[in-house]
Amino acid sequence: MRKVAWVTSVIAAAGVGALIMVFVSGGFLPVVEAQAVPALTDWQVIDLTQPLSPDIPIWPGDPEFEIEAWATYEVDYYFINRISIGEHSGTHWGTPNTFIEGARSAEMFTAEELVVPAVVMDVREAAEADIDYRVSVDDVLAWEAEHGQIPEGSVVIIYTGWQDKWDNPEAFFSIDADGVMHWPGFGADTVAFLVEERGIAGLGTDTHGADPGNDEEFGASFNMYNADGMILECLAGLDQMPPVGATLVIGGWPIVGGSGSPARVMAFVPPAE
């Protein structure tokens, strides 16, 4: 009579991983080691969104942010507000049709495109020395020498320190006597390099524009939008962000034909290994 061996498997916990063992008649035999994936609850969540109120900085000429009670507990037994806001006010994302007629609008971006890796370049020192500072290709290469090459598909964010001026619209826009705005931003040639050589998906900044405030040609924005990418502006919480390793989740509204919208932007940072 032929002897039939029976086999079963067990998993023994071993630190962050698990060692899968197969029992054959005669003993246990190790087969493969499986690594456990950290639970999302172990990740740090950073809110990159500025609070909204009627006193926020509004781009000159854009509609004011208005909020009023529409239903009240006393009369309607529930509460909601009616709000009115421009698509590019508060923390927001911009889409290519902002400047390019016929280009992609907000509802055309897939959910997958709104979950992207982020890199953060701290340019506060340069911005403090020159309010009109333009982030250069040399700045990018110096950052890469320290942190590694920017991954393809990333959103490249500059941390200028302007997030701390959010409660002071006058300082946030720094409009001079000639009506010219001032804040640091990306150089147009730098964005061309990031698009062509690094394949980035978008730009981000804590100011009200990816271009320096005094750049009326919007070269950085055009280069990003011509590449069918997105731009995030008026970000917050950049002081908590690592230079590399975070993943953004961009809660942009899918407005049909829209050029973007206010957005709740979150960053997820994995636990240290």
pLDDT tens track for 195-238? 999 999 999 999 999 999 999 999 999 999 999 999 999 999 99
Q: What does the mean pLDDT of the chain come to?
A: 90
Judge whether 71 and 79 are in contact, CB under 8 Å: yes
For β-strands 66-71 and 185-186, DSSP reports them as unpaired
- Residue 34: the pLDDT is 53
CATH tag for 41-269 (out of 1.20.1530.20, 3.40.50.720, 3.30.1490.20, 3.50.30.50): 3.50.30.50
> Tokens 């509004």 — which residue?
58
What distances in angstroms separate CA 265 from CA 93, 189, 233, one per listed residue?
9, 27, 10
- Residue 273: the pLDDT is 74
Judge whether 198 and 191 are in contact, CB under 8 Å: no
Residue of 18 and 223 predicted with greater confidence: 223
Tell me how many degrees the CA angle 45-49-51 measures, rounded to the nearest 5.
125
Q: How many residues does the chain have?
A: 273
Average pLDDT over residues 10-30: 46
User: Tokens for 46?
Assistant: 């950073």
76 Cβ contact partners less than 8 Å away, ≥ 6 residues apart: none
Q: Does residue 19 register a pLDDT over 50? A: no
Q: Does residue 86 register a pLDDT over 50? A: yes
- Residue 9: the pLDDT is 39
Neighbours of 186 (CB within 10 A): 31
Residue of 79 and 21 predicted with greater confidence: 79
- Residue 41: the pLDDT is 82
Range of weakest confidence among 27-31, 234-238, 257-261, 263-267: 27-31
Provide the residue ranges of all domains of the chain, joining segments of one domain with +.
8-36, 41-269
Kindly tell me the burial class for residue 152, based on how many C-beta atoms sit within 10 Å of its own C-beta (0-12, 13-18, 19 or more): exposed
Range of weakest confidence among 31-35, 64-68, 113-117, 263-267: 31-35
- Residue 40: the pLDDT is 78
pLDDT above 70 coverage of the chain, percent: 86
Which residues on adjacent β-strands are paired with residue 157?
A: 120, 204
Look up the pTM and report it: 0.86
Range of weakest confidence among 33-47, 63-77, 111-125, 160-174: 33-47
DSSP 8-state class, residue 215: -
Q: Does residue 112 register a pLDDT over 50? A: yes
Q: Does residue 33 register a pLDDT over 70? A: no
Identify the band that residue 21 occupies on the pLDDT scale cut at 50, 70 and 90.
very low
Terminal Cα-to-Cα distance of the chain (whole angstroms): 54
Model pLDDT for residues 163-186, shown as the tens digit of each residue: 999 999 999 999 999 999 999 999
- Residue 30: the pLDDT is 56
The C-alpha atoms of residue 34 and residue 19 are separated, in whole angstroms, by: 6
270: closest CA among 43, 37, 40?
A: 43
Q: Which residues of 77-113 are buried (b: 16+ CB within 10 A; e: fewer)?
A: eeeeeeeebbbbbbbbbbbbbbeeeeebbbebbeeeb
Neighbours of 126 (CB within 10 A): 17
